[in-house]
Amino acid sequence: MPKHDFPIAAFFRNLSRFLRRKQVARQDIFIGELLKRRGLITEDQLQKALETQRETLMQEGRMVRLGMVICDLDYTSEKKIVKAINDEYKINVQSLSDNIHQQVIEKHGTFFDHLPYPRIPIWFQLSVATTFIVVLTIMTLSTVVLNQQKARLYEQTVKMGTVSLNYFANNARIPLLEDDVLRLNTLIREATRVEGLRYALIVDTQGIIRAHTNVDRIGRAYEPPDQGGSRRRNGEVVYYSYREISGEHLLNLSRDIKFKDKVLGQVHVGVSLDFIKQLIEKERVSVILITLTVVLIGLIIAVMFGLRFSRPINQLVQATQQIARGNYRYKVPLKRKDELGNLATAFNRMSEELWKNAMAQKSFGKYLGSEIMAMILADPEKAWLKGSRNEASVLFIDVREFTSLSASQPPEQVVEWLNELLEAATAIIIEHGGYVDKFIGDAILAVFGVPIFRKDHAQRAVRCAVALQKKLGQKSPYSNPLMGAVGISIHTGDVVAGNIGSANKMEYTVIGDTVNIASRLNALAGPGKVVVSKIVKKRLPRGIKAICLGSHNVKGKTDAIEVYEIVC
């Protein structure tokens, strides 16, 4: 877990880990039972393996599959376990690292087993988190506040009852001494005016009720109510709570009536406690309504914020998919002044750079060749770019009498003919594994064997030349007279291949005597012909024949070169 982690993210991550471990545990259960049933392990070995698995989980925090634990303990081999699983469930498990449980479900699972795990969107997660936090916070605060309020109301009730009790005790001394029942009851009758006071009574030392708010009980023996709660004392006042037969919750308070330290009797008052419950219930209803209101507002805000975050993320996901398909011109239509806006801007900048690089690769690939471009991008610092000696076959293509053919034609027409020729020749050269080194006006220099060495480079060059002449011969000389005027020459030998140029402009090319000879031999190739040197003739592919044209002197060579013409 990261050092600074959000609780809701940690919750869902831990939940995912828990579900994953539960899945592995279910998988281990049926594998263990299967191996025991097949006689590959015993019950003791199974229990030992399970204990080892638990110890690994506790010490290292990782869940090791039971099958691997059994193999580590040398109880049986992985091959036997895999075979037992495949035979039992008719599946194709390759190793214990496969998701065996998933394969069993796919083969034998019910409809509900095949249902995918639900995808939980961000707005829903935020809504659940907001609701949970709001409800937990309000309910906790309301519980604390209502309990405190309940305690205060109870204390106020005790104080109110104590005041009434003291009033009666102080004013009942003389009437009680004089046995003036009328004055005592007049005093008690005033108690009915106090809200919440259910009864008041005065008893003498014999326990006989001398005054009562209920006149029918005057003169009877006083029977104290069943004490539902523990008795408490506050000075001279004793109080406890109980419930009437009717279910009403009352607080009974009593104290002695004294005159010069002589006890004359007792006064009792009963105060209703139900109003406390009613007030608390009203407050609880108010809290619930406030909670629902806050939850509703919180849900609306959470959904709004969730959608505000999830939509840009979905747009970024869609943009990533477009980039993966090669659509580097795709832009994220997101304008925000926050981190997501910065991310969208950075993503658009990245896609723009990827597009530029793709265009550069595509465009420069036309100049450098796809193979050279790929090698440069793969390893720009590679030493072979500095030059190396290799054996290769050089193929030289030139148009015979190009000057006279193009003199009577508009330049635009000549360029169109020439591009058609170069396009066809380049396609066939690449098809046969060659590399177009350069275009020299109406000529083409192609190399086989570099930059990627192929042992049969000479055969590839010959087959390329034959295929090219056959394709050019199929073109009508009236549509493009250059097609039938091409001469091709091939020579094989050592070349030096590498980068040549300055720090500002470089070119990958081949140089050497082999290149010069291939160029000089081209003068001996008439329209539609292919000429090769003796070394190439010795390496001709099967099915291709050549006739000797004799020895010829070429510029720059003192010895004559034996030349052959390929029979196309």
- For helices 370-378 and 339-368, what crossing angle results, to 10°? 130
Q: Is there a single domain that holds both residue 35 and residue 175?
A: no
Least confident window among 15-29, 70-84, 444-458: 15-29
Rounded distance between C-alpha atoms, residue 466 and residue 431, angstroms? 13
Among 108, 125, 155, the domain boundary falls at 108
Identify which of 18-32, 86-100, 307-321, 538-552 has the greatest average pLDDT. 538-552
* Residue 504 placed within a domain: yes
Among 222, 246, 278, the domain boundary falls at 278
Provide the 3-class DSSP secondary structure of residue 348: helix
* Residue 23 placed within a domain: yes
User: 97: exposed, middle or buried (C-beta count within 10 Å: 0-12, 13-18, 19+)?
Assistant: exposed
Identify which of 107-111, 257-261, 507-511 has the greatest average pLDDT. 257-261
Cα atoms in the Cβ-side hemisphere of radius 13 Å centred on 419:
6
The strands making up 237-243's β-sheet, listed across from edge to edge, are 209-212, 197-204, 262-272, 249-259, 237-243, 232-234
Q: H/E/C letters for each residue in 289-314?
A: HHHHHHHHHHHHHHHHHHHHHHHHHH
> Are the CB atoms for 537 and 546 separated by under 8 Å?
yes
Q: Is there a single domain that holds both residue 359 and residue 416?
A: no
Identify which of 3-12, 108-117, 278-287 has the greatest average pLDDT. 278-287
Where residue 398 falls among pLDDT bands split at 50, 70, 90? very high
Where residue 1 falls among pLDDT bands split at 50, 70, 90? very low
pLDDT over 90 (residue 341): no
Q: How many domains does the chain have?
A: 4
User: 512: exposed, middle or buried (C-beta count within 10 Å: 0-12, 13-18, 19+)?
Assistant: middle
Q: Which residues contact 270 (CB under 8 A, 6 or more apart)?
A: 197, 198, 199, 200, 250, 251, 252, 253
pTM (whole model) above 0.85:
no
Instruction: Take residue 445 and report the two structure tokens written for it.
Output: 């220099």
Listing DSSP states for 402-417 in one string gives: HHHHHHTS-HHHHHHH
CATH number of domain containing 400: 3.30.70.1230
Average model confidence (pLDDT) for the chain? 81
Least confident window among 240-244, 275-279, 374-378: 374-378
Least confident window among 74-88, 119-133, 191-205, 407-421: 119-133
Q: Is there a single domain that holds both residue 267 and residue 404?
A: no
Rounded distance between C-alpha atoms, residue 376 and residue 364, angstroms? 11
Q: Which residues of 403-434 are buried (b: 16+ CB within 10 A; e: fewer)?
A: eebbeeeeeeebeebbeebbebbbebbbebbb
Q: Is there a single domain that holds both residue 166 and residue 89?
A: no
- Looking at residue 265, what is its pLDDT? 93
Higher-scoring residue by pLDDT: 166, 500: 166
Q: Is there a single domain that holds both residue 419 and residue 557?
A: yes
* Residue 125 placed within a domain: no
Least confident window among 12-16, 264-268, 318-322: 12-16
Q: How distant is the alpha carbon of residue 254 from its chain centre?
A: 71
Rounded distance between C-alpha atoms, residue 202 and residue 253, angstroms? 12
- Looking at residue 6, what is its pLDDT? 43
* CA trace torsion 342, 345, 349, 350 (10° rounding): 60
Instruction: Name the percent of the chain lying above pLDDT 90.
Output: 18
pLDDT over 70 (residue 3): no
CATH number of domain containing 220: 3.30.450.20
Q: Is there a single domain that holds both residue 248 and residue 346?
A: no
Q: How distant is the alpha carbon of residue 418 from its chain centre?
A: 54
Cα atoms in the Cβ-side hemisphere of radius 13 Å centred on 238:
12
Q: Is there a single domain that holds both residue 476 and residue 534?
A: yes
> Are the CB atoms for 487 and 447 separated by under 8 Å?
no
Least confident window among 140-144, 356-360, 425-429: 356-360
* Residue 261 placed within a domain: yes
pLDDT digits (tens, 9 = 90+) for 276-326: 888 888 888 888 888 888 888 888 887 887 777 777 878 888 888 888 888
The whole-number average pLDDT for the span 241-252 is 87
Among 311, 344, 368, the domain boundary falls at 368
* Residue 193 placed within a domain: yes
Provide the 3-class DSSP secondary structure of residue 227: coil
Q: What angle do CA 230, 234, 240 make, to 5 degrees?
A: 25
Higher-scoring residue by pLDDT: 380, 216: 216
* Residue 87 placed within a domain: yes
Q: Is there a single domain that holds both residue 361 and residue 393?
A: no
Q: Is there a single domain that holds both residue 401 and residue 260?
A: no
Higher-scoring residue by pLDDT: 335, 214: 214
pLDDT digits (tens, 9 = 90+) for 44-85: 888 888 888 888 777 776 667 777 888 888 888 888 888 888
Taking CB atoms within 8 Å and a gap of at least 24, the contacts of 142-151 are 142/283, 142/284, 142/287, 142/291, 146/280, 146/283, 146/284, 146/287, 149/279, 149/280, 149/283, 150/276, 150/280
pLDDT over 70 (residue 27): no
Task: Cis check for the bond before 225: say yes or no (omega within 30 of 0).
Answer: no
pLDDT over 70 (residue 26): no
* Residue 156 lies in domain: 143-278
- Looking at residue 109, what is its pLDDT? 60
Least confident window among 121-125, 159-163, 321-325: 121-125
Q: Is there a single domain that holds both residue 353 and residue 385?
A: no
Least confident window among 318-332, 432-446, 489-503: 318-332
* Residue 293 placed within a domain: no
Rounded distance between C-alpha atoms, residue 471 and residue 49, angstroms? 72
Q: How many helices (H) and strands (E) does the chain have?
A: 16, 14
> Are the CB atoms for 121 and 310 separated by under 8 Å?
yes
* Residue 318 placed within a domain: no
Higher-scoring residue by pLDDT: 208, 360: 208
For the four alpha carbons of 49, 53, 56 and 59, in that order, the dihedral sign comes to negative
> Are the CB atoms for 490 and 444 separated by under 8 Å?
no
Least confident window among 8-17, 319-328, 334-343: 8-17
Q: Is there a single domain that holds both residue 147 and residue 237?
A: yes
pLDDT over 90 (residue 491): yes
pLDDT over 80 (residue 192): no
Rounded distance between C-alpha atoms, residue 518 and residue 434, angstroms? 15
Q: How distant is the alpha carbon of residue 482 from its chain centre?
A: 59
Q: Is there a single domain that holds both residue 96 and residue 167?
A: no
> Are the CB atoms for 521 and 554 separated by under 8 Å?
yes
